[in-house]
Amino acid sequence: MVKQAEKQVKKNPLLPIFALILAGGLFFFALLIANGLVQGEIGKIAQLMTFKASPNRWTATIGIAFGIWLVFIAIAYFVVAVAAGRDPDDSPKIEVTPLRKAKKKQRDWK
């Protein structure tokens, strides 16, 4: 009988780059939402591209966008963790040891 070699699963080397692109895209959407919240009207997305706002408004927009982005990243991390699951081969192996036999007391019956 011939033993088969264990299959080595290689991960995609571009996976960290995809994660950075995803994080950047989520920050962009968070920035859009925060800009709409700060200005009071979500429909004015075109004003996001112009830098005519005061520094305090942009500071507030960036701060709110960062908070929304953290929520988005937490949701994405949760989805990836649930989708990936846990590898059953990585679970710790429990060694079963047999129980000791109880010592019987010798009784003198008279």
| Per-residue pLDDT at 24 | 94
Which residues in 33-55 are b (16+ Cβ under 10 Å) and which e? bbbbebbeeeeeeeebeeeebee
| Per-residue pLDDT at 90 | 65
pTM exceeds 0.75 = no
Low-confidence ranges of the chain (pLDDT < 50): 42-43, 45-46
Spatial CA neighbour of 65 closest among 96, 108, 93, 34: 34
Rounded to the nearest 5 percent, the helix, strand and coil shares of the chain are 55, 0, 45
